Structure 1
Amino acid sequence: MRRLIKIPLISELPLAINLRMDFGDKSKVMEVLNRAFAGSVVDKRIAAAAIREFEGILEDLYTRPPQWEMVTMKREEVDKMREIIKYQDKKIKDITERVNRMSHGDQPEHPLPTDKDREDTNRRLYLADSFRDIYDKEWRAALRELTSIYRWRPQEAVYALMRVIRNACDLCINIAEDQLDKLLLGMEEAMVDPINGGNGGKMKNLFKDHMNVYSDGMKIAEKYAVQYRNDRAEIAVPAVLELFMESKLKMIIDPVKLKRDLKAYITKVVELVWLMTSLHPPMRLYWQLQTERVNTDFFDFYDRKGDFVNQTVWPAVFMHNTGKMIYKGQTVAM
């Protein structure tokens, strides 16, 4: 299947010119120019062929006197046309790269319903934007603090900041799974035993006798539990942050030595990771492990280029586990 590209109007180009050339009715150049003036879609192959044809004509103009019955152009107009061709060629390459990235296979063959739900999608994009802002602000401030006040080497500091994200993901995934189980079980217990639901340990025997009721009820309960948690996830942030400080932080740094910028970074990371994880299905943060081949579809290089990962600096963000990528991550190459 041919890929189509949009040729911008001549008025949109940086150096618009007026030219009169008798290329002939079947000329590729004339075909592209006619469509460009109309703002139409042009096949990439035709556009590339037209560019090559026009470059050949321009080369003739520089090597032999122009035939005035064929062309009426000044030398400076030829130079301007070269600039337009360069501009157009770059635009074609940029569009082609974007199309290739979109069709690389990072979207699911059968997208989950959340991909089509505008409200849910907007929420995910908002959280992804907020998470990216952490990298631009709190991450950089925490990195400066670790290297200047703590006297850590830059590589150690980058590694520690990424460990905060990885540990936050592990913690939040476990909490989110347990929380949803508790919500579902609580709703179902209250329905099966409205008098003593959740008390006295009587539910196990009831569920053994009525497993079909329990199973069907859980499916209904899940729908409402998921929506309830999506709407109320923010209120759990303080408890999740407290648990992170108590159980995860000591593996990264001594909590007693925690200073302002690093604390602000940890607080923002845990909050956003929790909000992304508590969605259903959860958003995905993806990082590569050391010695893996760098996936340039999902990561940009933090400083130097290379074939293999030294360490992930910032994770790539996906709509969900089988959804499209929202933002690329950063990686340090070997």
Structure 2
Amino acid sequence: MQGMFSVMTDPVFQIDGKKSISVRKDGSPTDASDEAKKEAEMLIKKFQKTMAASSTSDLFELYCAASSLNGNSEWVQQVTSNAALQKFASKLLKIIWLMISQDPPICLKWLEPETKVDKNSFTFYRISGETVRRTIWPAVYLHATGPLMAKGVVQPK
């Protein structure tokens, strides 16, 4: 999108792929107003969200094809042979795709095993403890440095 913005603010025409003619003689780009930049940014973000929502239908098939190419064909076979698991994986991919298509993207946080439990961002599964055994469900943040939207769940040691 940055490239498109550059082309629009400093158009250059090529003749026979050799000579180029620019609007600006000194080669410096045309200054776009701050208002024009903000408007373009807003439209680009809207376009990104619209395209993300309309491109979710084939995500599962694309993910299965990519997983097969990476040597996970056994996993793909297990998922595609179970209708409930296929439906779950498909919806999960759609949700994650829409989350990362936001600007800034929504952030998921897992705690690594053997790390200290972050009690502000995670609740416990079954028992309490100080050290993470595994993350059951990630914490959800509005963006990487943003506010917590939903606590995650960890199983401590």
Q: Same fold (TM over 0.5)?
A: yes
Instruction: Flag structure 2 segments of 5+ consecutive residues without an equivalent.
Output: none
- CA separation in 2, counterparts of 1:226 and 1:270? 21
Give the counterpart letter for 1:303 in structure 2.
R
Partner of 2:76: 255
Query: Among 214, 230, 234, which residue is 2:49 paired with?
Result: 230
Could you tell me how far 1:315 is from its partner in structure 2? 0.7
User: Structure 1's 332 and 274: CA in aligned 2 closer, same or farther, altered over 3 A?
Assistant: same
In structure 2, distance between residues paired with 1:333 and 1:252: 32
| Whole-angstrom CA distance in 2 between matches of 1:311 and 1:211 | 55
Q: Cα distance 1:241–1:212, how it changes in 2: closer, same or farther (>3 A)?
A: farther
Q: Secondary structure at the match of 1:330?
A: strand
Q: How does 1:83-162 map to 2 (within 5 A)?
A: none
Q: Which amino acid aligns with 2:42?
A: K
TM-superposed deviation, 1:251? 4.4
More helix by percentage: 1
TM-score, normalized by length of structure 2? 0.72
Please say if residues 137 and 154 of structure 2, whose CA atoms lie closer than 8 Å, have aligned partners that are also in contact: yes
CA deviations 1:111-144 (Å, max 9, x no partner) are: xxxxxxxxxxxxxxxxxxxxxxxxxxxxxxxxxx
Closer, same or farther in 2 for the Cα pair 1:332/1:252, shift >3 Å? farther
Superposed structure 1 runs of 4+ greater than 6 Å apart: 214-218
Alignment of 1:224-303 (within 5 A): 224-248=43-67, 251=72, 254-258=75-79, 259-303=82-126
C-alpha distance in 1 between matches for 2:6 and 2:58 = 25
From the two aligned structures, give the one with the greater strand fraction. 2
Unaligned runs of 5+ in 1: 1-182
Cα distance change on mapping 1:210 and 1:195 into 2, 3 Å: closer
Q: Deviations over 1:47-96 (max 9, x none)?
A: xxxxxxxxxxxxxxxxxxxxxxxxxxxxxxxxxxxxxxxxxxxxxxxxxx
Describe the shift of the 1:211–1:320 C-alpha distance in structure 2 as closer, same or farther (beyond 3 A): farther
Distance 1:288 1:319, change over 3 A: same
1:189 aligns with 2:7: yes
Q: Which has the higher contact order (CA 8 A, sep 6+)?
A: 1
Report the residue type matching 1:257 in the other structure.
Answer: Q
Q: Match for residue 323 of structure 1? A: 146
Rg larger for? 1
Contact 2:59–2:90 (Cα < 8 Å) also in 1: no
State the percentage of identical aligned residues: 24
- Alignment partners' CA distance in 2, 1:188 and 1:242: 35
CA distance in structure 2 between the partners assigned to 1:194 and 1:302 by the alignment: 61
Distance 1:260 1:231, change over 3 A: same
State the 1:193 CA deviation: 3.9
Cα contact 1:309–1:332 (8 A) shared by 2: yes
Q: What is the CA–CA distance in structure 2 between the aligned matches of 1:325 and 1:252, rounded to whole Å? A: 36
Q: Measure the CA separation in 1 of the matches of 2:148 and 2:30.
A: 39
> What secondary structure does 1:238 align onto?
coil
When the two chains are superposed, the root-mean-square deviation of aligned CA atoms in Å is 3.5
Normalised to the residue count of structure 1, the TM-score between the two structures is 0.37
